[in-house]
Amino acid sequence: MPTLKQPPYTYDIVGSFLRPAGLKQAREDFAAGRIDRVQLTSVEDEAIADLVQKEEKAGLRAVTDGEFRRAMWHLDFLEALEGVEHVDAERWSVEFKGPKPKGAQLRFSGRVDFGADHPFLEHYRRLVRIADGYPTKLTIPAPSMLHLIPCVRGKASYQPIERYQDEGALFDDIAVAYQHAIKAFYDLGCRYLQFDDTSWGELCDARKRAAYEGQGFDLDRLAQRYVDTINKALEARPADMTITTHICRGNFRSTWFSSGGYGPIAKALFSQANYDGFFLEYDSERSGDFAPLAHIRDQVVVLGLVTSKTPELEGEDALVARIREAEKYVPLDRLRLSTQCGFSSTEEGNILTEDEQWAKVALVRRVAERVWGQSPLG
């Protein structure tokens, strides 16, 4: 077993936290022109400093900024890439089983790249200063999301620019852009980076698979293109940097948009993607059983057994039993525990209170310490 504590940790988090009321008001005031960017940033800094203190108090091994500077977990990052633009839309690009986010889409306006002025660089600098030496974790959307949103979900309206008439050029540019992002964040001190990804959640869903196949997509080929693009991006990962992924089936106002076990994607993703670890949703029957974990190679699997969607606390004994069940497929020293997703993938947040949120985090820690004790795994 490893002798050094390194991520992912035995009890860990996906990344986002509920936004405090004062921050929500400040973002609303900024949008309305009542405060300027400097004033908003000051409110964000204060809210993140308070969050980091709470994360440390909760015993988390690495802290995030809660995604407090974002409206959404993915679009803020993707829209700030060179060659990518936001497009208003009548409806969201995928159908949630409940409340609906405001419509949005992406389009390409030029060569995709990660520029030196990307706002997430300053976001991370500020987190590092606030954390003051405490380990940090950064989450960004996965490379596959930059293809999925405009080219797959938005196929009906997608018009490739001249550079991307050959889709291979698009995948190559996405991979290189992420290589640049990995290097830039590493140079700022990031050693724990996570790619959040709902594309694989959609490819687990039988109804979505049928719909996409009906539009002419070869989903096995698409999955391979996504893995190849991810792996090309990961070629830029230094040896002392951990890069994980979180596979999600949707997380908006405690609802979701995909359902289905990992079987359809396990061979492509688990057997081929060169991530250091997988944060996997397993908080409900919608995620299927643990059998697909047999395709995991030597990576760490973070079991998302505790839901972030509802306030009720899971039974500790039941959680321990599920970890033991997963151990049939992945050795215990490569298993970890977390919530199934963040608490606020968008600024609206899931339907629970802040106290209930921290009770979930505390539950994850208690169960992890029952299973792994004061483990050198972290």
* Model pLDDT for residues 101-135, shown as the tens digit of each residue: 566 889 999 999 999 999 999 999 999 999 999 99
Which residue in 4, 42, 5, 52 sits closest to 22, CA to CA?
42
pLDDT 10s digits, 287-314? 789 999 999 999 999 999 999 888 999 9
Is 141 in contact with 77 (CB distance < 8 Å)? yes
Higher-pLDDT residue of 242 and 72 is: 242
What's the pLDDT score for residue 90? 65
pLDDT band per the 50, 70, 90 thresholds, residue 3 = very low
Average pLDDT, the chain: 91
What's the pLDDT score for residue 42? 98
What's the pLDDT score for residue 350? 72
Q: Work out the average pLDDT over 254-263.
A: 74
Which residue in 62, 50, 60 sits closest to 18, CA to CA?
50
pLDDT band per the 50, 70, 90 thresholds, residue 252 = low
Domains and CATH numbers, the chain: 21-372 (3.20.20.210)
Residue located via tokens 């940790």: 9
How many angstroms separate the CA atoms of 207 and 218, rounded? 15
Give the β-pairing of 192-197 and 138-141.
parallel
Q: Work out the average pLDDT over 68-92.
A: 87
pTM for this model (two decimals): 0.93
Is pLDDT above 70 for 328?
Answer: yes
Which residue in 192, 187, 174, 285 sits closest to 233, CA to CA?
174
What's the pLDDT score for residue 257? 67
Percent with pLDDT over 70 in the chain: 90
Higher-pLDDT residue of 112 and 347 is: 112
Q: CA torsion angle for 46, 51, 57, 60 (degrees, to 10)? A: -140
pLDDT band per the 50, 70, 90 thresholds, residue 204 = confident
What's the pLDDT score for residue 1? 28
